[in-house]
Amino acid sequence: MILSFTVIPLLLMIPYVWNNVFNSTNIIDLFSNSYFEAISGFTTTGFFFVSNSELLPSSLLFYRSLVEFIGGVGFIYILIAFLYPKKEIDRFCDTFGIEKIGNSLKALLLTIMLVYTFFVVIFTAIFYFTYSPNLIYSSCAAIDILTGGYQPNITAGIGIFQASIILLMFIGALNFRFHYNLFHLKLRELLTPEIKLFLVLIAASTIIISFLAWINPFDSLFHVVSIISSTGAEYFSIGAMALPAKIYFIVLGLFGGCAFSMAGGIRIQRI
């Protein structure tokens, strides 16, 4: 497991080194910065050393987001691979809220990839019309928001773009069992105790943050979902908010999203 997270980024950083995206004349700096960038994307952390990333070639921008997608969805693959044989996978499914999909490991992995790819495609189309009429930029935005890594430029306002970001952040924080049941129209099985608690927590936190930070409910909802889903998108400076609001956001980030999702934190299932 440790080797996976140390060796794979060594391969993923090659385009950064080859294109010298940091304009570095020091080979050690170039390698360390490239390795940092690759690990940040692969773990969907979203920190970066690239200055003026919007000036990168479109191919590298897309690659950077693709590394996030590989890391976000690939982490599931790695977990399942290391939990083989099947009895350990079944135990993992029971613990983390993953719907069993027959007895085929291939079917499970393929379904996971198809579901999250579907979300990227749908929101790429939405962002194409509401964010940027460029397929590369809109697809990068979709991947970045879903995985909670690098962030697109978001302006304040109550519009379709901001609402669609809230929805995509929320989708990324839901467990895979929810998505699987939704795609198979098992509507009665959608609201598990974990999902119910997650929805109540978001609703209550939206009201609380509205008062603590003195912002309107829509802006409060945006930043609550952003923090609890580990996305980190903001158009108001959370650092400039009142101390009680900042403390509450810290607690939300600690809670995190649902188990077996793109979100981090303790996870609602454990809570």
> What's the rounded mean pLDDT across residues 187-203?
93
pLDDT per position as a tens digit, 204-219: 999 999 999 999 999 9
> CA 263, CA 257: separation in Å to the nearest integer?
5
- The whole-angstrom separation of Cα 59 and Cα 140 is 11
Q: Establish if 40 belongs to a structural domain.
A: no
Phi, psi of 175 (to 5 degrees): -75, 160
Residue 54 in this model has a pLDDT that exceeds 80: no
Tens of pLDDT, residue by residue over 135-149, are 999 999 999 999 887
Dig out the tokens for 3 from the structure. Answer: 């080797």
Q: Is residue 26 part of a domain?
A: no
Alpha carbon distance 129, 123 (integer Å): 10
Q: Is 55 exposed, middle or buried (0-12, 13-18, 19+ CB in 10 A)?
A: exposed
What average pLDDT does the segment 88-98 reach? 63
Inside any domain, residue 141: no
Nearest of 102, 62, 110, 64 to residue 86 by alpha carbon: 102
Q: Work out the average pLDDT over 104-126.
A: 86
Number of H helices, E strands in the chain: 12, 0
For the record, the structure tokens of 25 come out as: 């004349």
Check residue 56 and give its pLDDT.
82
Structural domain includes residue 208: yes
| Domain count across the chain | 1
In sequence order, what are the residues at sequence separation of 6 or more whose Cβ sits closer than 8 angstroms to the Cβ of residue 262? Answer: 44, 72, 146, 147, 148, 172, 173, 229, 230
Taking the C-alpha atoms of residue 132 and residue 111, their distance in angstroms, rounded to an integer, is 29
Residue 57 lies inside a defined structural domain of this protein: no
Report the percent of the chain where pLDDT is more than 70: 89
- What kind and span of H or E run contains 126? helix 105-130
Residue 13 lies in a domain: no
The identity of residue 62, as a single letter, is F
**pLDDT confidence of 111, banded at 50, 70, 90?**
confident
pLDDT at 117 over 70: yes
d(CA 90, CA 98): 9
Q: Which domain holds residue 264?
A: 161-271
The average confidence (pLDDT) of the chain is 87
The pLDDT tens digits of the residues spanning 163-173 come to: 999 999 999 99
Position 90 pLDDT exceeds 70: no
